[in-house]
Amino acid sequence: MLLLAICAYTVDETEQVVVTRFDKVNRTVTTPGLQFKIPVIEKVLVFPKNLQEWDGDPGQIPTRDKTYIWVNTFARWKITDPETFFKTVGYVSRAQQRLDEIIDPTVRNFITSNRLIEAVRNSNRELDTFEDLGDGTAQENTQRDKPARFSQVFVGRDKIDSGILNQAAPKLKPFGIELVEVKIKRVNYVEQVRKSVYDRMIAERKQIAQKFRSEGKGEAQKILGDKERELKRIESEAYRSAQEIKGKADAESTRLYADAFGLDPEFYSFVKTMEVYNAALSENSALVLSTDSEIFKYMKGYKGTAAATP
């Protein structure tokens, strides 16, 4: 049992093994299961068979249109030839360094050879922006004002990823490494450019907000104007109706007065004369009139209480 434990080893489904004899490759084992080795003389080196990850360090790279951006990439790779990998690289930890030396320059080469929009977009599909959701005019004017060569995508991000993969994969093959996938994980402006971009975005949004506020104020003034005009119309119609009703009432009152006073003209004359007395004479009034005056015709022959006493 002790001898069996020293001589036997197992290979997992996600592993592949290089067996060395006196530090020289003797054989490779890629079939999972129980395997055997010669104790002391042979050593077993285990390498992963499944996909491995590579995450590059973000780097500052200028684009073809002289815009500095931070580019962060990742890759997936695997060991396809463990014997070659052992001879050229040795260990998985050293493979990361090899990937850095090959993928990073390739990424830099493709970013500097293309414009910023190529690393960001894949097609010329119109984007649903805030301006489009608002009224659709601001974005259309922006795209219309820009020359076509600055706004049109010719390569696209997917093709850049494929180009990096196609250029870097042959360089890693001599190390027994197959590069399966390379993708740009993130693209961002550098700090100086980012601040100016944010300021410009804020200014554009403020301009759009001011436009909406101006339109809102104009609409509010229009509503207030309509309200004032409607109020004036209602008041004028109400005043006209009131005057019509008042005029009809005055006419009816005058008719009734005329009918009443027409029955006794002398009584009408007397009432009107009394009204004149009330309006014209007071405690401090002083008049010098002839007794033959028409205004005193109803006072003639009037005898007070003192005069009637014998």
Q: Are residues 60 and 39 in the same domain?
A: no
Q: Are residues 177 and 253 in the same domain?
A: no
Q: Are residues 14 and 114 in the same domain?
A: no
In the predicted model, is pLDDT for residue 241 greater than 90?
yes
E-strand stretches of 190-285: none
Residue 283 inside a domain? The answer is no
45: its two tokens: 């080196």
Q: Are residues 215 and 229 in the same domain?
A: yes
At which of 164, 184, 207 does a domain end? Answer: 207
At which of 180, 207, 234 does a domain end? Answer: 207
Residues 26 and 19 sit within 8 Å (Cβ to Cβ): yes
3-state secondary structure 78-143: EECCHHHHHHHCCCHHHHHHHHHHHHHHHHHHHHHCCCHHHHHCCCCCCCCCHHHHHCCHHHHHHH
Q: Are residues 238 and 140 in the same domain?
A: no
Q: Are residues 159 and 245 in the same domain?
A: no
In the predicted model, is pLDDT for residue 291 greater than 70?
no
More confident residue, 276 or 201: 201
3-class SS at 288? coil
Residue 306 pLDDT level (bands cut at 50, 70, 90) = very low
Give me the pLDDT at residue 53, please. Answer: 93
Residue 101 inside a domain? The answer is yes
Q: Are residues 117 and 183 in the same domain?
A: yes
Predicted structure pTM score:
0.57
Q: Are residues 120 and 245 in the same domain?
A: no
Which amino acid, 261?
F
* Mean pLDDT, the chain, integer: 82
In the predicted model, is pLDDT for residue 257 greater than 60?
yes
Mean pLDDT for 279-284 is 72
Mean pLDDT for 117-135 is 67
**Rounded distance between C-alpha atoms, residue 111 and residue 161, angstroms:** 10
Which amino acid, 279?
A
Mean pLDDT for 108-118 is 90
57: its two tokens: 């360090």
Instruction: Lowest mean pLDDT of 164-178, 183-197, 264-278, 279-293, name the range.
Output: 279-293
Q: Are residues 57 and 196 in the same domain?
A: yes
**Rounded distance between C-alpha atoms, residue 51 and residue 217, angstroms:** 61
Residue 79 sits in a domain whose CATH number is 3.30.479.30
Mean pLDDT for 290-309 is 57
Q: Are residues 135 and 172 in the same domain?
A: yes
Mean pLDDT for 272-296 is 72
At which of 178, 207, 236 does a domain end? Answer: 207
Give me the pLDDT at residue 139, please. Answer: 46
**CA-to-CA dists, residue 110 to 23, 61, 69, 104, 164, angstroms:** 41, 10, 13, 10, 7
Question: What digits encode the pLDDT tens for the residues 128-169?
Answer: 554 444 454 444 444 444 444 456 888 888 999 999 999 999
Instruction: Lowest mean pLDDT of 7-11, 113-117, 176-180, 277-281, name the range.
Output: 277-281
Give the range of the structural domain holding residue 247, as residue numbers without chain letter: 208-278+292-298
Give me the pLDDT at residue 124, please. Answer: 82
Q: Are residues 120 and 265 in the same domain?
A: no
Number of separate domains in the chain: 3
Sign, CA dihedral 170-175-178-183, equals negative
**Rounded distance between C-alpha atoms, residue 109 and residue 167, angstroms:** 10
Tell me what percent of the residues of the chain surpass a pLDDT of 70.
Answer: 84
Q: What is the largest CA-CA distance in the chain?
A: 174
Residue 287 inside a domain? The answer is no
